[in-house]
Each structure stands twice: as C-alpha cells, then as structure tokens.
Amino acid sequence: MVLSRNQFDLVIVGAGAIGLSVARAARAHGLSVAVLERGTAGRGASWAAAGMLSPLGEALEPGPFLRFGLHSLDLWPDFARGLAEETGEEVEYRECGKLRLALSESEEERLRGRLAWAREHDVPAQWLEAEEVRRGHPGLAPVVRGALFLGRDFRVDNRRLVHALRVACVNQGVQLFEGCEVTTLLTADDRVHGVQLSTGEGVGAGRVLVAAGAWSGQVAGLPRPLPVRPIRGEMAALRPASPGGVASPQGGGLHPLGGPVLESERLYLVPRDDGRILVGATETDTGFDPGPTVGGLRRILAEASAMVPALEAALVEEVWSGFRPGSPDGMPILGQIPGVRDLFVATGHYRNGILLTPATAEGMGKLVAGEDARHLPEAFLPDRFFGPDDGSH
Ligand code: FAD
Ligand code: GLY
C-alpha cells in the first residue's frame, strides 16, 4: 500500500499500548484507522514496563488519578477477556494484590495514611504487623517493620498485552505501518488534515491523535510542543534459584504462583507466571540517555537482595530500560488540543500507562469518534498546557 495515497478517518502517531488500544477502540466505533510507528510496534515504554496495575500503590494523594486508575482497574477484567476472545492471546491478568512494605518508621507512617484513602474508595486494604508479614513471606529480610496489603492492586504481562493489542488491531482492519516516522502535523485554517513523514510523504487524515509516548514533544506542528519528557527506568528479570519461589521450600517460597507484588518506596518485585521476578525500577530525569547503566542495575539489584536475601543466588536473565512519558504535573494529557480542530493527544501516562490503558482507550475512543468524553477527567485536559500563561514552557 502506498501510504501517501490514502486518506484515513484517524491517523495515530505511535504504536505503544496507548496508540494501539485507542486504535482498536476507534475501529470498533467504525472509523478507518492508520497507526504510524517509527520503530516496531509495542517496543517503547509499553514493552519496558513492569505491568503493575496499581492505582492505590501509585497514587500520591486521593484525586483524579486515583479515581481514573480505579475506574481503569474495573475495566481490566473485561478488557483482558475481550482481547483473549478476539485474538486467542492471554495477557496474564492476575488479581494478585500488592504488599507495600514499610522499611522505616516514616515509610510506615505514610503507608498507614493510605489506609484512610483506601476506605474512602472502598479499596480492600489491611495493615499487617511485621510478624504476620514474615509468617506469610519468610524470605523477607528482618528490616521489614510491617506492610499494607492492597487487595485491589494487580498485574498483567505488558509485553503480552502489546502483542495482543497489535494482533487485535490488525485483525480488525487497523492499518499498522512500522518504520514510519511522523515529523510534523499538517494543519490549515486551524484544523489538522494529516501528517508528514520523515520521508517527506504526507498522509491525509480527518483526525490525528498524538500517542508517541516520551517522544510526543518532538512531533512538530502543534501550537506549542507537548510538554512531555522522558523519565528513564531501568529493570532486571531474575530467575530464583529454587523453583516456585526465592525462599527454600521449607521457608514457604516468597513468590509462589499467584503471590502478591512486593514493593517498598525504593523497589518493587513483580512475579511472572513463568517463574521470573521483575525487579524495578530506577527513575532518571536526564533526557534520552541510553540504559541500562551499571549504576542503575547495581542499585536495584542491591536493594532486591537486601529485601529478600535469597535473591543473591538468583540468575539475572535480562536487563533493560525504557522511557516513561512524564508530564509537568505527573498526570496524563488526554483530549483535544485547543485551537486545532480534530487534533487529539493521549500521552503523559508516566508510571501508569499500562494500568490506564483500558480507561484511556474507552475515553479517547469515544472522543475521536465524536461521542461524549465523560470518562476523561477534566484534570487531564491538554488545555492546562495551552493557555496564555500555563507555566510549563
Ligand atoms: P510507548 O509505549 O513508549 O509508545 C510510544 C510509541 O511511539 C513508541 O513505539 C515510539 O517508537 C513511537 N513513536 C515515537 N515518536 C514517533 C514518531 N515521531 N512517529 C511515529 N512513532 C513514534 N505502567 C504501569 O501501568 N505499570 C507499571 O508497572 C509500569 N512500569 C514501568 C516500568 C518502567 C521501567 C517504565 C519505563 C515504564 C513503566 N510504566 C508502567 C509506564 C508505562 O510503561 C507507560 O506509561 C506506557 O507504556 C506509555 O505508553 P505509550 O503508548 O504512551 O508509550
Ligand atoms: N509503575 C512503575 C514504574 O514506572 O516504574
């Protein structure tokens, strides 16, 4: 297909979890959709993530993020089921819970504070004293003072997710073009009418959605560049020395199948069904510096074995890094770009793009199809960065 000869109802820039999931939703609303991806679909942050679905674990305070995150979590079971029915691909959605460990007095105080929000939002949460935590997880180091068990923090395999989304899109007739870099949005008379590629070709579109993750700020042709910056995260995947868990069988196994995610303020350990444990993650706000680095890996691996001493003997199977799409206020940027008709953005998901995939697809899918956007919180509108004095530039 010669791309430049085509005209689509909707062109989406970027094939991460966000671009692909909105493409699938828009296609279900009857739009003709092309997704243009400069590299390989699903190999950006959505591939690099840990796959935690953690609204309460990730919220810094009660508010729009927590509400949207809980709404997205509610959508996850049907979203995973729908993808499996459409594609035959499982995404390893597991309702495993999360144990937020307190390793210091101040961490314990902050975690106890979350109990109140959890109750307000009907989220099952329970404080466990150190003894109780160690009884359930004998592999944990004695430094653990207690833990908050979050009964509605789950996990999914994000690499399987982007694979399933890609299959679903292609099955449903979304046109996916890889190795296809968008440089500029084409606008005239305050309305978008397509995009220009790095080859110089133009692609016609009735509507355009920018979903280019951490690179969204590099797409030219908006009234102002999107204020998105890359926040690098480095991770490792470990294979525990004893099958079924990192502690000895007598010790009960730390991460048997179905075990919770373990997290402190410095580190998380996320189990996978294949027996691996993902260890993450660093946070570096220094641009698109490549990774992973010796320093970053040394830190997370040292923290991991300090939390669970038996991890000293685990094999390091894989290391990687990725760029979270960060916004100035840490919130997603979802909606229509003010002043340019038919131009939309869905980015800035920072640490939670996998959690927020179903809710973003639902809200943005409706918006690009011309339906109401009730499910998109006002606090996430792009308008906050496009006023005369928004302070973000
Ligand atoms: P991406 O997946 O990065 O996709 C953007 C795509 O756009 C890329 O494929 C890129 O190549 C393409 N692109 C860029 N520029 C152009 C262009 N000009 N033309 C065409 N294509 C372009 N979230 C969670 O919910 N739970 C977690 O546990 C979690 N853990 C994380 C751990 C790490 C280490 C990292 C890095 C992130 C983590 N996240 C997590 C965050 C989550 O990964 C992101 O918020 C989410 O993946 C963003 O999705 P996206 O589709 O916007 O971006
Ligand atoms: N949500 C986990 C991370 O971004 O590292």
Mean pLDDT, range 334-347, rounded to an integer:
97
Residue 373 lies in a domain: yes
The pLDDT confidence band at residue 121, using thresholds 50, 70 and 90, is confident
**Whether residue 107 is found in the same domain as residue 187:** no
Residue 89 lies in a domain: no
The phi and psi torsions of 298 (rounded to 5 degrees) equal: -60, -40
**Whether residue 297 is found in the same domain as residue 258:** yes
Domain at 292, CATH number? 3.30.9.10
Tokens found for residue 120? 């307000």
Residues 22-51: tens digit of each pLDDT = 999 999 999 999 999 999 999 999 999 999
Query: From ligand 2's centre to the CA of 216, what distance in Å?
Result: 19
**Whether residue 19 is found in the same domain as residue 41:** yes
Mean pLDDT, range 221-245, rounded to an integer:
90
**Whether residue 224 is found in the same domain as residue 234:** no
Task: Give the list of residues 6+ apart from residue 361 with CB closer than 8 angstroms, or none.
Answer: 18, 21, 22, 24, 25, 79
Residues contacting ligand 2 via CB (< 6 Å): 50, 52, 233, 280-281, 324, 351-352
- Identify the weakest region by mean pLDDT among 106-115, 206-215, 277-286, 325-334: 106-115
Residues 303-338: tens digit of each pLDDT = 999 999 999 999 999 999 999 999 999 999 999 999
* CB hemisphere CA count around 5 (13 angstroms): 2
**Whether residue 247 is found in the same domain as residue 288:** yes
284, with CB counted inside 10 A (0-12, 13-18, 19+), is middle
pTM confidence score: 0.96
Residue 57 lies in a domain: no
Query: From ligand 2's centre to the CA of 370, what distance in Å?
Result: 32
Residue 173 lies in a domain: yes
Peptide bond before residue 292 is cis, with ω within 30 degrees of 0: yes
Instruction: Report how many domains make up the chain.
Output: 3
Residue 60 lies in a domain: no
| pLDDT reported for residue 258 | 55
Domain at 194, CATH number? 3.50.50.60
Mean pLDDT, range 127-153, rounded to an integer:
93
* Helical pair 357-368 and 64-87, crossing angle rounded to 10 deg: 90
**Whether residue 258 is found in the same domain as residue 316:** yes
Mean pLDDT, range 124-130, rounded to an integer:
94
**Whether residue 143 is found in the same domain as residue 115:** yes
Q: Which atom of ligand 2 is nearest to the CA of 233?
A: 5
Residue 271 lies in a domain: yes
Residues 85-105: tens digit of each pLDDT = 999 999 999 999 999 999 999
Residue-number span of the structural domain to which 270 is assigned: 230-324
**Whether residue 279 is found in the same domain as residue 131:** no
Q: Which ligand is nearest to the CA of 51?
A: 1
Residue 53 lies in a domain: no
Cβ atoms of 344 and 207 within 8 Å: the answer is yes
pLDDT at 123 over 90: no
Tokens found for residue 283? 């946070």
**Whether residue 221 is found in the same domain as residue 253:** no
**Whether residue 197 is found in the same domain as residue 119:** no
pLDDT at 2 over 80: no
Domain C-terminal end among 123, 151, 179: 151
**Whether residue 138 is found in the same domain as residue 13:** no
Kindly report the average pLDDT of the chain as a whole number: 93
Residues contacting ligand 1 via CB (< 6 Å): 13-19, 36-39, 43-46, 48-52, 181-182, 211-215, 219, 233, 235, 280-281, 322, 324-325, 347, 349-355
Q: Which atom of ligand 1 is nearest to the CA of 281?
A: 34
pLDDT at 83 over 90: yes
Specify the residue with its C-alpha closest to ligand 2, atom 2.
Answer: 351
**Whether residue 239 is found in the same domain as residue 297:** yes
